[in-house]
Amino acid sequence: MAERRVSRWYFGGLASCGAACCTHPLDLLKVHLQTQQEVKMRMMGMALRVVRTDGFLALYNGLSASLCRQMTYSLTRFAIYETARDRLGQGSQGPPPFYQKVLLGAVGGFTGGFVGTPADMVNVRMQNDVKQPAHLRRNYSHALDGMYRVLREEGLKKLFSGATMASSRGALVTVGQLSCYDQAKQLVLTTGLLSDNIFTHFLASFIAGGCATFLCQPLDVLKTRLMNSQGEYRGVAHCAMETAKLGPLAFYKGFVPAAIRLVPHTVLTFVFLEQLRKYFGIKVVT
C-alpha cells in the first residue's frame, strides 16, 4: 500500500490568492487595454501611463477585490472540482477520464463564476478607476466597501451584473486550467521521463494556462465591458454586437497581456497548490 496526500478543500483558494498577489499588475493592465474603445496604447505604454499619472502603487488598485474574488470564485471551483474528482477516483484503477474532468471543470467553474461575480465586478471597477476623470471615479476604499456601495446605490441586480458572462467564462477557464492541468500532468508522468516534481508541475500548468487563455479570451472581453459599463449595453448580445463593430479581433483585444497574466497566474497557482498539498495535505492510503 502506498501513501499520498490530497488537497484540503480550501487549498485552491489560498493558492490562487498567492498567485493573484504576484500577477495583479498584469491583470490591471489587461482590464485597461480591454476597456479602450480604440487601440491607442499597448501594454508597456499603458503601464507607464498608470505609473506616471497615479504612482507605482496604482498598479495594485483593486488588490483587495482581487483577493476577495479568489476566495469566492477560485475557492468554490477548486473545492467542487477536486472533491468530485477525488470521489470519482476512489475504488477505480486510475484517475477519471478526460471527459469527466471537463464536465467537473465546467460545473465547478460555472458555480464559482456566479459566486465570485460581485467581487469580480468591484475588482474591474477599482482597477479601471484611475482611467476615469476625477468627477467620475467611484473611489471604493476596498472590496467590501465597493460591494456595499453597489448594493446600496445600484441594487442587488447590479451587484450581479455580468453574472452569466462571468459564469460562462469561469466554466471555460476552469476547463482550461484544472482539467487540462490534470490531463497534462497525467500524460507527462505516464511517459516516465519526469517524476512528480516542481518541473512537471510547471510544464503541466504552462500548458493549462495557454489552453485557458485561448478558451476564455472572447468572453473575458465581453465580461469586462459589461461590468465596467454605465448603462450603454442592454445585455450580453448587445455588448457582443457593439464589440463586433470594432472588428473580429476586438474579441481578442488584450490577448497578449491576458496570456502574460493568465499563464503565470496558472503556473503560480498550481505550484503553490502542489506545495500546499505536499506539506499540509490530507494523508490517504491507496
Domain chopping of the chain, boundaries: 3-285
CA distances from 260 to 25, 33, 268 (A): 11, 13, 13
The pLDDT assigned to 150 comes to 92
DSSP designation for 178: I
pLDDT digits (tens, 9 = 90+) for 105-130: 999 999 999 999 999 888 888 877 87
Q: Is the pLDDT of residue 91 over 80?
A: no
Cell of 50: 498608470
Q: How far is CA 1 from the centre of its chain?
A: 38
CA dist 61 to 20, 42, 54, 125, 141, Å?
12, 19, 10, 10, 10
What's the whole-number average pLDDT of the chain? 87
pLDDT at 246: 83
pLDDT, one tens digit per residue, over 137-154 is 888 888 899 999 999 999
**Tens digit of each residue's pLDDT (9 = 90 or more) over 233-283:** 877 788 888 888 888 778 877 777 778 878 999 999 999 999 999 999 988
**Choice between 196 and 41, residue whose per-residue pLDDT is larger:** 196
Instruction: Give the bridge partners for 144, in sequence order.
Output: none
Which of 32-46, 103-117, 212-226, 270-284 is least confident? 32-46
Give dist(CA 129, CA 122) in Å, integer. Answer: 10
Domain 3-285, CATH among 1.10.1040.10, 3.40.50.170, 1.50.40.10, 3.40.50.720: 1.50.40.10
